[in-house]
Amino acid sequence: MSIEADYVIAGGGSAGCVLASRLSEDPNCTVVLLEAGGPGDGFLATMPSGSAKLLGRPKTDWMYMTEPDPSLGGRKSMWFAGKMLGGGSSINGMMYIRGSRADYDSWEQDLGCTGWGWDSVQTYFKRSECFDGSASASHATDGPMGVALPRKIHPLSHAFVDACADIGYRKVEDYCAGDIDGAFIAYVTQKNGQRSSAALAFLKPAMKRPNLTVITDAMVGKVLIEDGRASGVQYVKDGQSRTVAAKREVIVSASSLASPAILLRSGIGPAAELSALGIELKVDAPDVGKNLQEHASVQTSVTVDIPTVNTKMGPIHIGLGLIQYLLSGRGIMSITPVEGMAFLRSKPRLAHPDIKLQFGPFAYDPVSRKPHHKPGIVVYTNVAKPRSRGEIRLRSADPMDAPIINHRLVGDPEDMAALIRGLKAVDDILHAPSFAKHLTGRIAPAQKPQTDAEWEERIRSTAGIGYHPVGTCRMGGDDRSVVDPRLRVRGVSGLRVADGSIMPIMPSANTNAPAIMIGEKAADMIRVDASQ
């Protein structure tokens, strides 16, 4: 079976949904979107707390396993990834953060990513946004994606922000303006208490258009390349190999884990690696799959004197919460795992914050991984822009074989040192006056480490992921970069990559909002290039 379209998009995650929506706004062009997962339009994908039931399910989560990580004592990790339309935006914690002005200005000024400075990307952040507040220089109210404060903010989230101020960190008035230097209550991607995923906000309205075709359960094998040009996409559905011909362009938008795998299977990658797998070389591109970055996340959890979400997880609370959500879109079912955030410098002389903190009014038992029986909170500590790197490789040319994730989550000594300093800062914040009055005990770590060696052991034995892999199809102005600043794959015409994989360096942010921005900017560039 073969069909054709002007644009074929491989991957229906955050950026892919945006691309399908924006490109199909032109009734004179046809668009096909291929998504390996399902529709992702059920109740659990709409209700904010429903993601807890979608993670760890093979139907809705890719559940990628890494190779043993020497920086974590040889532990393997499961990297969760949304397996449905909307991708990560359908199962994530809904945090909305763009990053700092310095992040994107550095992309442009230091890495040759022309057109990706802050003033340019801010236009595209705003284009997506339906802000639950007044329009301003940094917020727009007429976009498709809901952005709002949590409908009910726990008092301890405010206490966390106040405690940061107690020890000298600023309170940031509007962190979406490019200033993240301090503490704040974070916005979430919700509208009227419901999750505002890329699938719901962008794709669902666009699917009514006759020029847009969305095919789910379609596993992309490779991009078809003829005479140096992308001519279509080969995919598998219902056990049968099928193709879509692309009259104008193919856009790979399948995530930082899957997009490099698609390029590699298409013959775009390191020549020796492809030869070993029997894949015909189309472009010798050594950096495909390299430059993998992810946030190492380390938890600090304490007990408190105010009821928290984990103490409201019994059958009665859940039942009442479900009724409240159905009636008003409020209550425990509309919660998010993080409400407060802070960016801080682990060394005073640093030009920009290097540590990202996320605060949530919820505590797990560290052994059973079930909600703790006492009221508690958690603070997740990340290096904002990790130096540690890894790579994506293929196991085989079979698209059904998951890619190899070979990473060193805390492989760079500077990341380890920064995490140790950041965890010490968290302890200081929780013992600052505004929060200390609520503090009743420790959960994790049960005892405060006394030496840097003890802190390091805690990090290596407990660090997990931040759900933010980026960088594996790096954009840049240099010849080794996988894509140029217009996201065109070097060495092949009619082929682009547009998702988190093109980020050369992770911004100081959770990565869903930046991925959606990339989709918006890519759609604009594709339209402009088509008109020339």
pLDDT for 346 equals 95
* Mean predicted confidence (pLDDT) in 1-20: 94
Is 468 a known active-site residue? yes
Alpha-carbon separation of residue 105 from 110, 116, 163, 419, 508 (angstroms): 8, 7, 31, 25, 12
- Tell me which of 145-149, 362-366, 380-384 is least confident: 362-366
Q: List the domain boundaries for the chain.
A: 1-118+194-294+389-409+469-532, 149-192+296-385+411-462
Cα torsion through 356, 131, 468, 86, rounded to 10: 160
pLDDT for 188 equals 97
Query: Is residue 274 pLDDT above 60, yes or no?
Result: yes
Cα torsion through 260, 266, 268, 271, rounded to 10: 110
Dist CA 20 CA 31 (whole Å):
7
Under 8 Å between Cβ of 74 and 68: yes
| Cross-strand pairs, 36 | none
Grade residue 114 by pLDDT with cuts at 50, 70 and 90: very high
Dist CA 114 CA 439 (whole Å):
48
Dist CA 519 CA 504 (whole Å):
16
Alpha-carbon separation of residue 339 from 52, 126, 184 (angstroms): 17, 22, 9
Q: Considering all CA atoms of the chain, what is the largest pairwise distance in Å, rounded to the nearest integer?
A: 69
Chain segment 69-91, per-residue pLDDT in tens: 999 999 999 999 999 999 999 99
Query: Is residue 317 pLDDT above 80, yes or no?
Result: no
Query: Is residue 63 pLDDT above 90, yes or no?
Result: yes
SS3 15: helix
- Tell me which of 126-135, 153-162, 306-315, 434-443 is least confident: 306-315
pLDDT for 348 equals 92
Under 8 Å between Cβ of 498 and 525: no
Q: Please report how many Cα atoms fall inside a 13 Å half-sphere around the Cα of residue 504, on the Cβ side.
A: 25
Under 8 Å between Cβ of 516 and 15: yes
Under 8 Å between Cβ of 64 and 255: no
pLDDT for 334 equals 79
Dist CA 387 CA 53 (whole Å):
33
Instruction: Identify the CATH number of the domain defined by range 1-118+194-294+389-409+469-532.
Output: 3.50.50.60
149-192+296-385+411-462 matches 1-118+194-294+389-409+469-532 in CATH topology: no
Query: Is residue 505 pLDDT above 90, yes or no?
Result: yes
Q: Which of 139, 154, 407, 468 is catalytic?
A: 468
Chain segment 100-113, per-residue pLDDT in tens: 999 999 999 999 99
What's the topology of domain 149-192+296-385+411-462?
Cholesterol Oxidase; domain 2 (3.30.410)
pLDDT for 327 equals 81
Q: What angle do CA 306, 307, 310 make, to 5 degrees?
A: 135
Contacts of 17 (CB under 8 A, 6+ apart): 33, 85, 86, 87, 89, 197, 198, 199, 201, 202, 203, 519
